Chains A and B, each alone.
Chain A
Amino acid sequence: KQEVTQIPAALSVPEGENLVLNCSFTDSAIYNLQWFRQDPGKGLTSLLLIQSSQREQTSGRLNASLDKSSGRSTLYIAASQPGDSATYLCAVNGNDMRFGAGTRLTVKP
């Protein structure tokens, strides 16, 4: 059974800092991996989707990488802003879709 782990569980950084969120998974037989953002009390919004054949995807200040062989993905956020404060979840799509527990990010002004 696929297990998805996100470290750290929480992260607090000053505004303007570049940061990396980590996601690891145990079964490399996946179709794709997605990163989501969740604001408090809200649903999930898709940020980036990386197919298993891809190494990375970029959207604005966000860059997600995928190393399927080692079972790792990172979400890089450049020049963080207070509006980036949210919980970030990764989801691995294989036989079914498995979510990590998320990293709660706080960007302080």
Chain B
Amino acid sequence: DVKVTQSSRYLVKRTGEKVFLECVQDMDHENMFWYRQDPGLGLRLIYFSYDVKMKEKGDIPEGYSVSREKKERFSLILESASTNQTSMYLCASSSHELSSGNTIYFGEGSWLTVV
């Protein structure tokens, strides 16, 4: 059974803290993604990675960075958390050929509250 695991389901952090959100997939997928989901806005892509040590900016990368040192792990980093980063964060993975109809798999999400 395919699995995308987000280690932290619920976090509360203070403004200015550095926050790490971890994601691990067990499907040997090349592609990994980080989205945030806000009411009425749908999913917005923050960053994605096509391979180890590679990263590409999505639509809303400001205030975030990512790390992919190993194929199975993709970390989202909030360098200095702010209240407008309070959101649900979703990690996803897929095999290379998304255009060929390979589906994308999502983790359960991480709820981050910044106070």
The answer to whether B106 and A49 touch across the interface, beta carbons within 8 angstroms, is: no
Q: Mark A26-59, 1 if CB is under 8 A from B, else 0.
A: 0000011010100001111110010100000000
B4, B100, B101 pick with most chain A CB within 10 angstroms: B101
The answer to whether B103 and A49 touch across the interface, beta carbons within 8 angstroms, is: yes
The answer to whether B104 and A31 touch across the interface, beta carbons within 8 angstroms, is: no
**Interface 9-mer from A12-20, A70-78, A97-105:** A97-105
The answer to whether A101 and B99 touch across the interface, beta carbons within 8 angstroms, is: no
The answer to whether B43 and A99 touch across the interface, beta carbons within 8 angstroms, is: yes
The answer to whether B42 and A97 touch across the interface, beta carbons within 8 angstroms, is: no
What total of chain A residues lie within 8 Å of the partner, measured CB to CB?
23
The answer to whether A101 and B104 touch across the interface, beta carbons within 8 angstroms, is: no
Known contacts A41-B111, A43-B107, A45-B106; is-contact A89 B99 (Cβ 8 Å): no
A101 / chain B contacts, CB cutoff of 8 Å: 40-42
What total of chain B residues lie within 8 Å of the partner, measured CB to CB?
21
A102 to B108, CA, bound (A): 17
Pick the residue among A32, A34, A42, A44 that contacts B99 (CB under 8 A): A32
The answer to whether B103 and A34 touch across the interface, beta carbons within 8 angstroms, is: yes
A43 / chain B contacts, CB cutoff of 8 Å: 4, 90, 106-109
Pick the residue among A31, A41, A42, A100 that contacts B42 (CB under 8 A): A100
The answer to whether B101 and A46 touch across the interface, beta carbons within 8 angstroms, is: no
B101 / chain A contacts, CB cutoff of 8 Å: 31-32, 49, 51
